[in-house]
Amino acid sequence: MKDSVLNFWRACGGRERLALVAGGALLLLVGGYLYVWSPMQQSITRLRSAVVDLNFKAGQFEINAQEALRLKGMAPAAMETADLPAAIEQAAEQSGMRSGIVSMTPADAGRMKIAIQAVGADKLLAWIGALQERGIFVKTIEILPGGRPGIVNADAVLGTS
């Protein structure tokens, strides 16, 4: 094949050789543009867009991190286990459902089992909110109908962590 190309080249005149060289150079330039330059420019454009998006996400992440630190500073202080029953009763008094607590027994370290009878569902939810303000959280709760509309019975396990 090399010989046939070489023979063809020798058979061409000066103008034909110049046209072949110019055509080859043009073909090389077009191929370089289509297969190297254009894909590279598309990648650059895509990456610049990704950088803008990632910068936005990084800014959002920073805002969220600052908010988390702010909220962490607002978290209620850890409560002594001995204070837990008193805090539960204070929250019940605050929400108007102290008479609904029929039993309160220690479950384990930092947890209390609570049995509640015949309280309004709205008072129960207010009580849960008051507990959370004091750093006491519902670990488990079972809410059952109390026999009348809006009245419930509940068994809950509350804890400080």
pLDDT at 77 > cutoff 70: no
Mean pLDDT of all residues in 12-19: 89
pLDDT of residue 133: 86
* Cα–Cα dist 40/128, whole Å: 59
Q: How far is CA 159 from CA 82, 113, 139, in A?
A: 12, 9, 6
Mean pLDDT of all residues in 29-52: 93
pLDDT at 160 > cutoff 80: yes
* Residues 146 and 138 sit within 8 Å (Cβ to Cβ): no
Give pLDDT tens digits for 109-145.
789 999 999 999 999 999 998 898 888 899 999 999 9
Whole-number average pLDDT of the chain: 88
pLDDT of residue 134: 85
Q: How far is CA 40 from CA 28, 34, 35, 46, in A?
A: 17, 10, 9, 10
Could you tell me the pTM of the whole model?
0.51
| pLDDT tier, 79 (very low <50, low <70, confident <90, very high otherwise) | low
Mean pLDDT of all residues in 92-109: 88
* Cα–Cα dist 103/90, whole Å: 15
Mean pLDDT of all residues in 83-95: 88
pLDDT of residue 10: 85
